[in-house]
Amino acid sequence: MANSVHQQSDTNSGASSSTSLLKDVGSPPHDSAITHVTGKSEFIDDRPVVKGELHCGLVYSPFARARLKLLDLAPALQIAGVECAITAADVAHNMWGGIFADQPIIAAGETHFVGEVVAVLGAQSKESLAQGLAAVVAQWEKLPDIRSIDEAVAQESFIGHLRTISRGDAQAALKSSPRTLAGVLKIEGADHFYLESQAAIVYPREDGQLEVHSSTQHPTETQHVVAKACGIPFSDVVCVAKRLGGGFGGKETQASPFAAYAALVAKRTGRAARIVLTKDEDMIITGKRNPFQIHYECGFDDSGKILALDAMLYSDGGAYADLSTAIMERALLHCDNAYFIPCARLRGQVCRTNFHPHTAFRGFGGPKGVAMIECIMEDIARVIGRDALDVRKLNCYGSGRDTTPYGQLVENNCLPELFETLEKKCDYRARRDEINQWNNDIKRNPHAHPRGLSMTAVKFGISFSTRFMNQGNALVNVHTDGTLQVSTGAVEMGQGVNSRIAALVAEQFGLPIAAVRIMPTSTEKNANTSPTAASAGTDLNGSAAVIACEKIKQRLAALACALRGIAQEHWPTKTAGLGTWPEISIANGAHAFTVLPCGLFDGANAGGAGSNTKNKTLVEFRNSMVVVSEPAQPEFKIDFAQLVREAYFNRTSVSDYGHYATAHLTFDKIKGQGRPFLYFTQGVAASEVELDPYTGEIKVLRVDMLMDVGRPVNHALDMGQVLGGFVQGMGWVTTEHLVYNDNGLLVSHSPSTYKIPSVQDTPRIFNVDFIENLGNTVNVRATKATGEPPLLLSISVWTAVRDAIASARSNVSSELIPLAIPATAERVLRGLSPEMFAQWDAPSIP
């Protein structure tokens, strides 16, 4: 069956009374689309090698935990072309971390995961570097290690404290519930598998300054880690991130030490230093999505309505904290997902093991909590003999049942409508009957392929759960030819944040998007920025850019009002050179006017700003013009670029800085109560799968998705995020299996052993629609983030696999089917034929 992507449908097809399906009315392309396909986009390793530049390589531990008994670098330094060797003794401040500074940049004495760096070499060529690394003499004493959550719990090897979010008395509610079920869900990690590995180049500048070009999602943190490692002030380091060849969270924190390695070599030698990991090195050294082990008990009534949930979440943080405690927090905050839970006790504990420190990954901890509750929904349905969709709809957030366990009101709630609309659009009921009949028929034919169908939801909170990180800044420079340069803290890593911000700025000034150039992210223009993460890149930085634009617009509007009453021969461009006419004053409200709003209110409120603007002087930026109008007067129009030139000759600033801080955030981390999120992005997806009973292969036959993305800035880019996020999530829940050997080394560290989705794995039929929703007025232009939420809808593929297995093998309708994530081919076969594997798994008799 041929693949298809259906991106929009008839507005009236299946739409509910208060929402309609959103059509793409035309979206400008990604700002790097042409340079990507022509091979002209510049990434870190595309930068030309400068004279004297050195290549950096790493010496790291081959064991999960070990003592370094001997490290002899002298033989390496004798290799021609090897210029220097850096160890922990050369690091001015050797501890770093995203939350807790508990990880050494370069380890000394004892190492705690395979890949922990103990030395850095700098060499003139890749060949001499390879020879130098091979010449290093290191002797190790292998030490006892911890490489499972169960071991960590038994030894109380923890990172941070136990976290709790609760509402009501969950224990009492469980005891009084008519029905209960309990289970353990094991969720393994996944590799980010970005196409551009960790990379950085550092250029020494005069007076001890360093210019760092890094493939990082967090230029500010990279700047700070480099400065501390080198023992210099933050102001002596500039970090630049032009674009990334993918990040997905893997470069939020973990890019920083690699930049520090190159910086230490550059500082020691006074020469440029480049570090670019191979895919193998990257996968071995860097952390993954945190593995989780979730123990839960749920109480419910005979209809399937949840009465209580008690869940204990353990995560594998790896050897150091990184962001694991924040990831656990988001997992707890998403255990409810789309469903009202009247009594809940949600607890979480991060475990310290001897794996690479795990880190941020698209969705952060959200997918873990969502997987748990969606698993519970399926199991409740099986226990009571109802369709799982009916159980989900019964428990869905709605009127009077719209407050989360942590106390946030679910505002702008589209979930009931999303369920109802997609149920009709994808013909769920008829397909469910067909699949049930198909599976009943194949029970008489063991060679047939069982099928499963499942519809899951997502309610993903948008904001960093740590309040101070919810801020952004932007610098907007308007040039006298009417074009603009915009600098923000957002990092372009393929998701299109540059194009979105450019569209917001262009809209503010009524200009074509081609007039706006987004500059490379640089800490000298935008300092103290948050990482581009949490799906908040456009929200934070785009809002800051709009604020800067509004400041500039106010000055330009005032000048336009003044020019209206002045003869053109007296305008600044005609008189300022010789000083024949006084400058125009625009201060102190000399001209009363109202600038018509752009964005959300264009068309809704602008032309009909009606009674609010009646009898007022109005200024509008549209179609590259600035238009001044007032009652009983002809319109005054001036070309935008001409107005900017008049402003320059009038010594009126056409540059400004905007700072944005997300409002309404009140979450108390100690109490586990409050409002951690500005809003929720919502969606539903129905997935149909077919299983091969001989190989365990999963074929995703069809996926139907319906997302609430507010009012998109760029429909096409949002569609790309939704499609890509879902497929990436499919890899996590099906094929992407991390395999480690007895020393703790990741052995699936290349494309030949680690299976990410390919075009052959994408759904045979892939229908995606957006609903129109203008209700998210708390965010810029009524948009909603699309970076992470769609990934969580891929859980519908996993629950569909569980449905297929249960339908294929169960003679008892209420039998529950345990299935870990990822549902690999082996696990599918074990689910379909557990008795076959039982004989192989049984201990052999001597």
Sign, CA torsion 445/449/453/459: positive
* Whether 456 contacts 684, CB under 8 Å: yes
User: CA dihedral in degrees (388, 392, 393, 394; nearest 10)?
Assistant: 100
Residue 237 forms beta bridges with which residues? Answer: 210
AA identity, residue 411:
E
Of 788, 815, 826, 835, which is the active-site residue? 788
Helices (H) and strands (E) in the chain, counts: 24, 32
Strand, helix or coil at 231? coil
CA distances from residue 219 to 241, 497, 531 in whole angstroms, order as listed: 7, 16, 7
Rounded CA separation 471/464 (Å): 10
- The answer to whether the CB of 442 falls within 8 A of the CB of 452 is no
Q: How many CB atoms lie within 10 A of CB 737?
A: 18
- How many angstroms separate the Cα of 119 from the Cα of each of 122, 269, 355, 579? 10, 16, 19, 65
Residue tagged 């102001």 (tokens): 235
> How far apart are alpha carbons 794 and 286 in whole angstroms?
24
SS3 380: helix
> 676 preceded by cis ω (within 30°)?
no
Q: Residue 837: exposed, middle, or buried by beta-carbon count in 10 A (0-12, 13-18, 19+)?
A: middle
CA pair distance 234, 253, nearest whole angstrom: 17
Q: CB of 130 within 8 A of CB of 119?
A: no
Written as one string, the DSSP assignment of 718-752 is HHHHHHHHHHHHHHHHHT----B-TTS-BS--STT
- Rounded to whole angstroms, what are the CA distances from 733 to 26, 190, 729, 738, 765? 34, 9, 6, 12, 19
Nearest to 319 by CA among 86, 620, 110, 589: 110
CA distances from 4 to 75, 385, 762 (A): 59, 34, 10
DSSP alpha helices (H): ranges in 735-824? 789-792, 795-809
Tell me, yes or no, if 788 is annotated catalytic: yes
Distance (Å, whole) CA 353 – CA 151: 8
Residues carrying an active site annotation: 788
